[in-house]
Structure 1
Amino acid sequence: MSAEARLRETICTLARSLFDRGLTHGSTGNISARTEDGGLLVSPTGTSFGRLDPGRLARFDAGGTHVGGDRPTKEMPLHSAFYDTRSTAGAVVHLHSCHSVALSMLAEPGEPFLPPLTPYGIMQLGRVELLPFFLPGDPAMGNAVRGLAGKRSAVMLANHGPVVAGRDIEAACNAIEELEATAKLALLTRGMGPRGLDDGQVRDVVTKFDVEWDV
């Protein structure tokens, strides 16, 4: 099996896992990954994470031309913005996960989105930027990500869903699962005065694991 064939299978396997555990639903969410030749494999528009077909993933060449497969997700501007601004991005995942979307309705853009409750949210995501609401498919979402100049690997689209870039498809999926788990913890403990990590503990995590954290 070629490297690209393995990547196609991995994308579909991980997407199915996210779907089966309720982290996205229906035909929501999209996923992409870099190929060895610098191109992209992208989930098609209107498809379910539970039923992706490896052979029908949209294929882009290294120049960004759609050269095969079905028509890609309408959220391509989001994916392109991460690849263009973060040289380490090897994959991008966007979900409509319930707890993170709920938390986005209780926060204001510009505020820290995820409280520092555990070290793992910090380690895998860095500081998560909450972006304002955009209509689905609006290229302005990509412009907003570009405006961060590559400083964030994860953003939360208000009333919509999280988007995470990782070094590869496994890392991106692990990180977005951590985002949803941390959002769930934040909601479960909201108003209870939870004991999160203090500033010194956060700084220790950031330093030890070389996390992108400062504004």
Structure 2
Amino acid sequence: MDGMIRILIADDNVFITGGMAIVLNSYDDIEVVGTVANGQEALNYCLETPIDVVLMDVRMPIMDGVAATQKIVQQTQTKVLILTTFDDDDYISEALENGAKGYLLKNNDPDVIAQTIRSVALNQHVLQETIFEKFRLQLKTNQNEALSPTIDLSPFTTREVEIMASIAKGLSNKEIGKVLFISDGTVANYISTILSKTGLAHRTQIAIYFLTGKIGE
């Protein structure tokens, strides 16, 4: 992405929005163009003003961040990065299904937050490792150690099923390659094919789909 990344911060804590704005504005390629106190204000702002990325808190009055994420993704070109202190399982799942490009906790170093913003602005999906692990374990609750898919596997080859199961276990492309004795590039090609067959956008959605049978927006 060329030029300045235009940011909106949605958080009902004025100390958070003020401090975050000061920190992020110190980066040469990031500009905080506004702050709002709830999801409805975030939606209204994005409908009226071109915004590249919204840093969205979860718990806010009037409209929470999860609901606002869905509306912003559906009605604008703005990308949403959940930035919150809450790592509740339900929030993680619903925010991702509603189209959030990333989920990050506020206790991260400012450089990590800034780099995540850059990745999301480039249409990449970023999920903090601890968040993904928590989400994955929540999906596996009441399942056997061996993952049991809840989807019709007939459209997929045996290798594609192995790839999906490995993603659902939280393995990286490199780790999947080592387990299946194939190259990282071959793993990436299989993932591209799976995304094409399912209409999904990224590997986190593959994990959700494989374990729950649900396809998020």
Q: State the TM-score, normalized to the length of structure 1.
A: 0.31
Larger RCO (CA within 8 A; separation ≥ 6): 1
Larger % of helix: which?
2
Q: State the TM-score, normalized to the length of structure 2.
A: 0.31
Greater Rg over alpha carbons, structure: 2
